[in-house]
Chain A
Amino acid sequence: MTTSSAVRPRVIPVLLLKHGVIVRSQLFTVHQVIGNPMSTVERYSQWNADELIVLDIGQGEDHHDLRRDDLQQSYPGTSAIDVLLEIAKVCFMPLTFGGRITAIADIESRLAAGADKVTLNTAAFDNPRFVEQAARRFGSQCIVVSIDARAEASGWQVFVSGGRRPTGLDPAEWAREMQSRGAGEIFLNSIDRDGSGVGYDLALLGHVTAAVSIPVVACGGVGRYEHFAPAIRDAGAAAAAAANIFHFFELSYPHAKRACEEAGVNVRPVRLGSRLLPREPEYDRDFEDRKIAARLRQAREEDYPAARPDAARRRRPIKWCTECVYPSISAAPLEFDEAGVCTGCQMARMKATIPTSEWTRRRELLKALLEKYRCRDGSRHDVVVAVSGGKDSYFQVHMLKEEFGMNPLLVTYDGNNWTDVGWRNMLRMRESFDVDHILVRPSVATLKKLNRLAFVIMGDMNWHAHVGIMTVPMAVAAGHRIPLVFYGEHGFTDLCGQFSMDDFPEVVYRGRLEHYARGYEWTYFVGRDGLTERDLALYRYPTDRDILDLDLRGLFLGNFVYWEANEHIRLVTERYGFEVSDEPFDRTYRRMSNLDDMHENGAHDYLKFVKFGYGRATDHACKDVRAGLMTRERALELIAHYDPVKPRDLQRWFSYVGMTEDEFDRIADTFRDPRVWRRDGGRWLKDDPASGPVERAPRAAERGKA
């Protein structure tokens, strides 16, 4: 190999930080919440990324908040610097940080907190001499000028203030001036390509790269891995950057690198699996032990964080979506537009406008995918289908086997929480569909320990179920060399509009760790309650290397096939003998979801109410409002009735894991979110979307006294 004398062209992920969380962006206006900044940055370190750009795009107050306290990873303060300090701890690549920089002191504090470079945008326009001062003080190498340009009838125009304020400037002229004032690099973003997925504006890029000698970083428009290379190869960019695409697919960054190499661009090659950058987190055992001990002490002494005098400081005014009734402090990440409409409603509206022709096109896309991965020699099954035995499982298998003629392998995680009907429905699938079915069943002793531990650690006994469902089908697929796994709907796209319909998000490790496991990987439990690595083997996710080599993909059928749960039920009952439960749930008015796990709609969901002040009835009612099946008024009635109910399945859980109701209540109360709850005269109060403050259900001890 000959060594190259020039520096290697870079591929750069861009993270948009807005009010404390990472968002995806469309046309600079729609922002959907992806999640926790730290876990995303860690993933890029594991993927050996060349560089990272983090842009704080929040407007107004510099207030960052993860909006929940039950995650393993968080940052201690609320400023951009607090977030940056935590990001820098897990970032072993050059880091550029931008947003809210208007003074030399802002640059100084960001460099001190771990940034290697900063971007200047509006501040550079308002005061071009600021760029000179900054470059003189810190060196050109750490001053990046960010230019947002929009295509117009003749040429392009620079916009500032988050793309809202026109400047009358040509981006090439502006870049040249910035270079002459000391900028070391230009970060060029196309506003009209933002989130479009159609590729870079190569003409704009060529226009600017021809005008300057400093490196230009291209951004805006990448929708496929093939879009990266032309920016470097054809338009003269020193680096190709993108935001959204890296959130959608597993190993997106290594795939992007491979595509560049295939297009003849001399990027740093993909390398995975460094033992110094392990994917599974290595926890600070002493720190975590102290956290757990502190929680148990709080429970014992009834010293609840939400009841402390200083909790008032953390209370945030809760917003409820003005169309459905989803709250702003929630387990499901969402954002609101200026009219107060949540991203869940925005995306549902978008989904409703998808014409039949588009669904036909998506079906063809799916067909092509299935053909690509179909087994040609009979040596394996065609696809794995993750099934719980619910109506959606039946529908998925029906589609894949009957409509597309695949030979599926069904895989079920058995968390030992079945309802009788759910168990019968699950077992019936093998015969009704005439398919192979693997049940993966962790030991009951291990499950009991995990239930109890996870409740104490993160306020949710169903960690094992969430992680199991997202792990076991992928692991079975990897083990059987089956590259395609199907899940039903992408839950957060449906519930809170986390992705757009054109994103086609797939199963990713980051989402599994951050959302399903809340940052607690199976490694966290090793050595607790006598659990060993061997006990937790079923929760191990396939390695990045295995995923890349097999091209293992987890797809959501709902991205390709029109999903109307209420219609599926007819099909699956009539044709396959699916049994609908006649037993009502305690905490929701719907009857047909989560029959595989009695605690999912019960104890687990009750804890969501304890933490965030809402529950499954809110989830279901919001979906029904969006589908036009329910009025907002009716939704509010149902929510007021169901959300606070303490469910009966808790009694089973207490005897299952050996915990008293009083112990449970005390530990649960340590998880009450101070943003939501306040304590007044021994009662927990919160604001309510319909009728002002409501009370929680009385505690066992209090019921006894009454």
Chain B
Amino acid sequence: MITIVDSGIANLGSVLAAFRRVGAETRVTRSAADVESASALVLPGVGAFKDGMDSLRQHGLAEPLRQAVGRGTPILGICLGLQLLADASEEFGTHDGLGLVRGRVVRLAPRNAGERVPNIGWCDVRVKPNARVFVGVPTGSCYFVHSYYLRCAQASDAVAWIEFGGGPVTAAVERGNVFGTQFHPEKSQDIGLAVLHNYVRIADTIPT
């Protein structure tokens, strides 16, 4: 059972449809109790960082999320959901995140022709060979919509990148039971579905 956290700022319908397509049972929740009892969590999100954190705090979900993940419950953050896992973000001021992945969320700095902010569209993703959510996933491009990205404090946490502004930009993170994608797997067709399918399988094998 995949517990999808409804922070009130996500494209829940698309995320749900994608998890159903890969055969997962799902439930959507705003309740702290459900987060605490979850066997696997998904934190989707679109919009601004501060709105996202405010919403989690308002619903009393920030601390339960931290504790559940601390106990070993797997979590997958998607897009803004990934950024919320970080220590802090520089989007419109500096704001604290959930602190589940070391690093700060910083603005994309375009440098090459054709690069725009927000970066919207299909970008080629380079993947670290042993990244767990990419096992057996065909190489190719994924769908991104973002103006900020997570600059990991520990290089080993980043497991996928796109090229932007003359260097690598984090496209996915993995650290123990914490996973995140800057791209939208639910909108990235066969590759995205394969990533979600992998997460579902990983979640099944992590004892909680």
Contact = CB atoms under 8 A, between A and B. Distances in A.
A114 B112 CA distance: 33
Given A88-B14, A92-B193, A5 B122 contact: no
A71 interface: no
Contacts of A116: 11, 14, 145, 187
B141 A8 contact: yes
B98 interface: no
A408 B110 CA distance: 60
B70 interface: no
Interface of chain A, helix or strand or loop or mixed? loop
Interface in B150-208: 162-164, 166, 184, 186-190, 192-194, 197
A213 B164 CA distance: 18
Interface in A198-240: 213, 215, 238
Nearest to A94: B187
Contacts of B184: 94
A10 B121 contact: yes
Contact of B13 (A112, A184, A274, A276): A112
A85 B122 contact: no
Contacts of B187: 92-94, 116
B11 A5 contact: no
B122 A10 contact: yes
A245 B187 CA distance: 24
Contact of A184 (B18, B21, B120, B140): B120
A8 B189 contact: no
Contacts of B197: 276
B80 to A, nearest CB: 11
A654 B52 CA distance: 64
Given A140-B118, A141-B145, A88 B140 contact: no
Interface string B113-132: 11110111111101000000
Given A92-B186, A116-B11, A269 B122 contact: no
Contacts of A277: 21, 189-190, 193
Interface string B1-36: 000000000010110011011100000000000000
A379 interface: no
A441 to B, nearest CB: 37
Contacts of B164: 5
Contacts of A91: 14, 17
A48 interface: yes
Contacts of B141: 8, 268
A271 interface: yes
Contacts of A141: 118, 120, 145
B138 interface: yes
B21 A94 contact: no
B166 to A, nearest CB: 8
A318 interface: no
B13 A3 contact: no
Nearest to B161: A3
B143 interface: yes
A79 to B, nearest CB: 16
Interface residues of A, number: 37
Contact of A274 (B14, B118, B166, B194): B194
Interface residues on B, range: 35 or more
Contacts of B60: none
Nearest to B163: A5
Nearest to B138: A271
B47 interface: yes
A8 B20 CA distance: 28
A276 B11 CA distance: 21
A238 B116 CA distance: 12
A388 to B, nearest CB: 39
Interface in A153-212: 184
B21 A276 contact: yes
Contacts of A269: 140
A93 B184 CA distance: 9
B190 A5 contact: no
Given A7-B123, A274-B194, A45 B140 contact: no
Given A5-B112, A5-B164, A141-B120, A276 B14 contact: no
Given A92-B189, A93-B187, A276-B194, A7 B17 contact: no
B193 A93 contact: no
B114 A5 contact: yes
Contacts of A10: 121-122
B189 A88 contact: no
Interface string A3-15: 1111110100000
A89 interface: yes
A268 B122 contact: yes
A139 interface: yes
Q: Which of A8, A85, A90, A113 has the most CB of B within 10 A?
A: A8
Contacts of A238: 121
A227 to B, nearest CB: 21
A45 B17 contact: no
Nearest to A113: B13
A114 B140 contact: no
Contacts of B18: 92
Contacts of A7: 114, 119-123, 144
Contact of A4 (B21, B163, B189, B192): B163
A521 interface: no
Given A92-B18, A276-B190, A4 B124 contact: yes
Q: Which of A6, A139, A274 has the most CB of B within 10 A?
A: A6
Contacts of B189: 45, 48-49, 92-93, 274, 277
Contacts of A132: none
Nearest to B126: A3
Nearest to A278: B21
Closest 7 CB pairs of A and B: A7-B121, A6-B114, A274-B190, A276-B193, A8-B122, A5-B163, A3-B124
Interface of A: 3-8, 10, 45, 48-50, 85, 88-94, 111-114, 116, 139-141, 184, 213, 215, 238, 268-269, 271, 274, 276-277
Given A10-B122, A92-B192, A184-B120, 5 more contacts: A48-B189, A92-B21, A92-B189, A114-B14, A116-B187
Interface of B: 11, 13-14, 17-18, 20-22, 47, 112-116, 118-124, 126, 138, 140-141, 143-145, 162-164, 166, 184, 186-190, 192-194, 197
5 contacts: A3-B163, A49-B189, A94-B184, A94-B187, A271-B140
